[in-house]
Structure 1
């Protein structure tokens, strides 16, 4: 007997009902392959056991991304390792953290760090989040009041980032980053956290909440596959370009002696 293919990854092409959900922070977890397939296409190793939790590892073995729904509270763990006493860092994110927001951070793990100084608050300010001090914390809250991001610095100098979203029915998620999480990764996360665009979910795969807006759309599996494949192709192309650049670099040699970069239906 054939196994039933998951949404968006099968071979049938009959249109199915999906929903665009806004705000994205309350859309529910989504398909974890949005994260894992991009990492795999970027050269990461899939260390997952059969029918077990997701466990991905970077090519140089310094980064790990895991998703475990079989423990409480369950969710995502992202861990990094580098040389030096402050080289270990981690992020813990709840199961209902939307994969599109998770991917902001995990996609950034596959790219070289830019020379620009990171600013975690900038994407939130651009979307007119409310910024304020609350005691020893600096807090940003989304215009609808559902999502938040908090930075707290202790008297010993250590700092922590907390973030999350919750509706009035209690649906939501929370996440935190250890003090030495690279700031460009936290900014990549905050960029997707503040993103105004809706995200797509199959029928029945998002929370029932009075605080979300939905638009019904009919989507063929072939369309979903094409969108997913475009994301995977982009990851492969970027990885190939980086590897080609590394391979084409001339070896350093001693210099000679010298003195002197679809139609939407709103519900």
Structure 2
């Protein structure tokens, strides 16, 4: 295990031990506020009941994001209503899906779509994932073979996106998306799934797995708060910019032009 020292400690603060974990897909679930707080400041309504599972709804009421740890197998459910472009769709992500990967998809729900056609496989190819046909399925696998993304065709003719990560001890998670899930959302998910950067977990929240690499880091509470605020500030700024663009501008009536030196009539 390697050790790193983070600079910029606040005076009088007690540093806390955290770990950078790689690959991120095997880092464990993490803090769900990484997802929920971003959606809240992006204008989503909190529909959660006291003591119950998390439930957030988009401002236009077309998408719901839920996290329920109280049922088996538990985890995330993202549900979209049918609209003019897509039929009803849903995504189900296991409880141990890292929140940074979940956020790849949920953050994208708050952002305008790119003009470019989405390509789910492109982020995986950029990170040297191995893609192949397996019968009726098309699968991409990470270089360490712990993580996969598959377009899955069932014998009954139905199809879905199926993805997940698993170590040699059998620990991990799976997720699936209905075939009509908007492709830019699936691409946003695959981008974070394949991202090479590690993610951070506090001591005691690092999975016991022979497939992960960890680096011990010392972090102060103020550093953690600053990183969290930076993410929330970015969401708040983007929301303000979107709302400003939609807000109608007041119409002004141009005053009649009076030539310089012209006489004005009093009444």
Instruction: Tell me how far apart the structure 1 counterparts of residues 211 and 236 of structure 2 sit (CA, whole Å).
Output: 37
Instruction: Tell me how far apart the structure 1 counterparts of residues 179 and 250 of structure 2 sit (CA, whole Å).
Output: 38
Q: Secondary structure at the match of 2:247?
A: helix
Is 1:102–2:102 an aligned residue pair? yes
Unaligned ranges ≥5, structure 1: 1-11, 252-267
* Structure 2 equivalent of residue 123 of structure 1: 123
Q: Secondary structure at the match of 1:236?
A: helix
After TM superposition, the score normalised by the length of structure 2 is: 0.86
Instruction: Map 1:20-31 onto structure 2 (within 5 A).
Output: 20-31=20-31
Instruction: Tell me how far apart the structure 1 counterparts of residues 86 and 107 of structure 2 sit (CA, whole Å).
Output: 23
User: Conserved in 1, the CA contact under 8 Å of 2:86 and 2:182?
Assistant: no
Shift of 1:83: 2.5
* Structure 2 equivalent of residue 181 of structure 1: 181
Q: Secondary structure at the match of 2:208?
A: coil
* Structure 2 equivalent of residue 57 of structure 1: 57
For residues 134-185 of structure 1, the C-alpha deviation after alignment (integer angstroms, 9 at most, x for no partner) is 0000000000000001002468875310000000011100000001100000
Instruction: Tell me how far apart the structure 2 counterparts of residues 242 and 31 of structure 1 sit (CA, whole Å).
Output: 27
Aligned residues: 240
* Structure 1 equivalent of residue 262 of structure 2: none
Distance 1:27 1:13, change over 3 A: same
TM-align CA RMSD: 1.8
Instruction: Tell me how far apart the structure 2 counterparts of residues 79 and 104 of structure 1 sit (CA, whole Å).
Output: 16
Instruction: Tell me how far apart the structure 1 counterparts of residues 79 and 99 of structure 2 sit (CA, whole Å).
Output: 17
Unaligned ranges ≥5, structure 2: 1-11, 252-267
Is 1:202–2:206 an aligned residue pair? no
Larger Rg: 2
* Structure 2 equivalent of residue 146 of structure 1: 146
Instruction: Tell me how far apart the structure 1 counterparts of residues 32 and 180 of structure 2 sit (CA, whole Å).
Output: 26
User: Conserved in 1, the CA contact under 8 Å of 2:17 and 2:202?
Assistant: yes
Instruction: Tell me how far apart the structure 2 counterparts of residues 75 and 146 of structure 1 sit (CA, whole Å).
Output: 20
Shift of 1:51: 1.7
Is 1:168–2:168 an aligned residue pair? yes
Instruction: Tell me how far apart the structure 2 counterparts of residues 13 and 52 of structure 1 sit (CA, whole Å).
Output: 34
Distance 1:209 1:154, change over 3 A: closer
Distance 1:210 1:115, change over 3 A: same
Give runs of ≥4 in structure 1 deviating > 6 Å. none
Instruction: Tell me how far apart the structure 2 counterparts of residues 168 and 157 of structure 1 sit (CA, whole Å).
Output: 31
Instruction: Tell me how far apart the structure 2 counterparts of residues 159 and 172 of structure 1 sit (CA, whole Å).
Output: 23
Shift of 1:14: 1.7
Distance 1:194 1:46, change over 3 A: same
Instruction: Tell me how far apart the structure 2 counterparts of residues 212 and 231 of structure 1 sit (CA, whole Å).
Output: 26
Q: Secondary structure at the match of 1:209?
A: coil
* Structure 1 equivalent of residue 254 of structure 2: none
Instruction: Tell me how far apart the structure 2 counterparts of residues 13 and 49 of structure 1 sit (CA, whole Å).
Output: 36
User: Conserved in 1, the CA contact under 8 Å of 2:101 and 2:192?
Assistant: yes
Q: Secondary structure at the match of 2:72?
A: coil
